[in-house]
Amino acid sequence: MARIETHGLRRSVGVGGLFATAYGNVGSSIYYALGLVAAYALGLTPVVFMLAGGLFALTAKTYAEGASMFPEAGGSSSFARHAFNELVSFFAGWALSLDYILTIAISAFFVPHYLGAFWPALTHPPGDVIGGLIVIALLAWLNVRGIGESAKLNFILAVLDLATQVLIICIGAVLVLNPSLLVHQVNLGSTPTYSHLIFALSLAMLAYTGIETVSNMAEEARDPGRDVPRAVNYILIAVLGVYAGMTVVALSALPVIGHGSGAYTLLGQAPPHGYQNDPVLGIISHLGLATGATHVLRYYVGVLAATILFIATNAGLIGISRLSWSLAEHRQLPMIFSRLHRRHRTPWFTIVVFSVFAGILLIPGKTDFLGNLYSYGAMLSFTTAHAAVIALRMKDPERERPYRIGANFRFRGAAIPVSAVVGGIGTFAAWVSVLALHVDARYVGTGWMVVGLIGYVFYRRSQGLDLTSHHKIQHRERPAFFVELEYHSAIVPIFGTDVDASALRAAAKLVGEGATVEAVYILRVPNQLSLDAGLLEEEQLGLSVLESAVLAGRKSGLKVQTRLIRTRSPGAAIVEEAERRDAEIIYLGTAHAPPSERALGPTASYLLAHRPCRVVIETAPADGRNGASGAAARGASLVRPSADGGRGVRQPANR
């Protein structure tokens, strides 16, 4: 009898995918952070961004080591769980949840401002607030329905975004860059004042939103120990380079006007007279290009920036969904935060609740308040991450570290990373400055943390749990064994409720006597959930279907090997499995698949495009009955891989 093998995660994201996703978040911040910081830093804006960038570089190294050790959703919350206890882990996770909410609110608020290149009414209240709320509502609805992300689209947009930013820098360097002007518009102590400079330094960390994205995606990386640090290094180079170039061009195109307390730059002035809410469009308008070229470039950047910010908003929703699921799985949040929609199997409660919070924060339209509040949560989260990595060096020095921060010093026999110590001191000092200088962030941020901690204590006590011990929702253990097949012939992906294993019986007509068939049940994990999320009902359904496949195979005289695959990309997972098994045929029956996969859906299209072997696609007949009933599989066709790597020839399948 064939054994049922249940294997876990499909790690399919490489360095490019990690870079594209993270840069889409980190790089998107230049579209709003530039104006907010310039309002206070004035001529020292480039210096402020570089100082904040240095702190970001230290923090990125910490996340690279932590994520390579623990490639799982949660980021600093996960690091703190392993280094300290559940209370500290929740503290970091709750601060991080505030960051995700603010990422959603800030990114959504600036989408209509860049679309204002076409419709000026969107650049001021109430148009910008209404537009931002529509963006949040639309993405919340799409995420509840289980919207997917396209890694290829993310990569293309990230490259296009980076190339556009570099293009603006190059044009500005030729047409407007004036080093002498950059130096003479600074008079430290008065233009800007020391208080405004410190204020700007704390606010500038807003520019580096998104580093948690790499940590959350580490669970999907092909090789977390290698890919995560490389992606972090590429992000550092790209982001610091873009901010250095864009700020000097910006202050050459929109220089500081006046002196002392009355000094200002149009880059930091609120609309309608300034470009605080669409700084990149302001730069383009003052590059000195011809009128026609300026309009074309403004429209192009307006569309691109709005798209990037829209994706960053969606990334925030996905991030808060995965984080909340992780906290609920570890009994740090009530189980309702991991409750799935009955139909779409997404964490609808989490998506709706945190979208409402983001909308409430967006309504006043105070971007500086949003930026300050983000810095409050981010600095707490980053400081906890630094402390966790240092503690793990002392507590668990023998743990495997695929990536290890260099430049260490010895303390009590442990190798302590200098960058984590300096970074931790820096982020904590930045948090203190936010607490001291930003009154609104002080009260709202502290209130958020206090309410969260009170709720955590109440929930844990009500469950009969102490505050620090680790408790995780128990799931059925998956067998660890793996049986190698002597022969590799056919793979039959199974979706949904194919309990009669009709696709398997139809595939039996295409394989020779004594051949081995692998029935693969595809369990698609929504982007809103961590890859190792429970999904017990779906797994149980999959096991039932695979048991039926074993019985059906036995009746047909087939040797059947079964496998359950959790994945975000069914097509890529099937191709990888076929290549690993050296399969001769993939037989894909879509009669019982979800509606989006019927006929030539995304999975079938992916298989036809990549074809690791011969591919059979079985579709349901026009009358809606099972296309594999009886002696023939109606609607099935065979695609052979062509020798020249082309599309191949599609022929009727021999049955």
Q: Dump pLDDT digits (tens) for 491-500.
A: 888 876 665 5
Amino acid at 130: I
Percent of the chain with pLDDT strictly greater than 70: 81
Task: Report pLDDT digits (tens) over 340-380.
Answer: 777 777 888 999 999 999 999 999 988 888 888 988 888 99
Mean pLDDT over residues 394-420, rounded?
89
pLDDT of residue 285: 92
d(CA 95, CA 74): 12
C-beta of residue 608 within 8 angstroms of C-beta of residue 579: no
Backbone angles phi, psi at 383, to 5 degrees: -60, -40
β-partners of residue 585 are 490, 614
Q: What is the mean pLDDT of the chain?
A: 81
Task: Return the higher-pLDDT residue of 24 and 450.
Answer: 450
Long-range contacts of 181-186 (CB under 8 A, 24+ apart): 181/251, 181/252, 181/255, 182/43, 182/46, 182/248, 182/251, 182/252, 185/42, 185/43, 185/251, 185/255, 185/256, 186/42, 186/43, 186/44, 186/256
For residues 420 and 412, is the Cβ–Cβ distance under 8 A?
Answer: no
Distance of CA 376 to the CA centre of its chain: 21
Enter the tokens of residue 605.
């299209």
Per-residue confidence (pLDDT) for residue 416, from 0 to 100: 94
Find residue 586's DSSP bridge partners.
Answer: 491, 615
* Residue tagged 């980076």 (tokens): 162
Q: Average pLDDT in the 165-169 region?
A: 93
Task: Judge contact between 445 and 98, C-beta under 8 A.
Answer: yes
In this structure, the strands spanning 614-618 and 414-417 are: unpaired
State residue 643's pLDDT score: 42
Residue given tokens 């999959």 in the structure block: 542
- pTM of the predicted model, to two decimals? 0.73
- CA angle (46, 50, 51) in 5-degree steps: 120
With a pLDDT cut of 90, the percent of the chain lying above it is 30
Q: Enter the tokens of residue 362.
A: 């967006």
CATH superfamily, domain at 12-462: Amino acid/polyamine transporter I (1.20.1740.10)
Question: Domain residue spans in the chain?
Answer: 12-462, 490-652
In angstroms, what CA-CA distances link 144 with 67, 319, 333, 353, 557? 28, 14, 20, 12, 43
Chain segment 602-649, per-residue pLDDT in tens: 888 888 888 888 888 877 665 544 443 333 333 344 444 444 443 333
What pLDDT was estimated at residue 611?
81
Cα–Cα distance for residue pair 476/542, rounded to 1 Å: 14
Question: In the structure encoding, which two tokens stand for residue 545, read together?
Answer: 């279907």
CB-based contacts of 268, cutoff 8 Å, min separation 6:
35, 36, 37, 38, 39, 40, 42, 274, 276
pLDDT tens-digit readout, 82-102: 999 999 999 999 999 998 999
Closest CA to 127 of 105, 111, 147: 111
* Position with higher pLDDT, 653 vs 538: 538
**Is the model's pLDDT at 8 over the cut of 80?**
no
Residue 550: count other Cβ atoms within 10 Å of its Cβ.
Answer: 19
Side chain identity, residue 518:
E
CB 362 within 8 A of CB 30: no
420 confidence band (pLDDT: 50, 70, 90)? very high
pLDDT of residue 569: 82
Could you tell me where the DSSP H helices lie in 145-218? 151-175, 179-184, 194-204, 211-217
pLDDT at 221: 67
pLDDT above 70: residue 513: no
* Average pLDDT over every residue of 547-576: 79
N- to C-terminal Cα distance for the chain? 27
Tell me which CATH code domain 490-652 carries.
Answer: 3.40.50.620
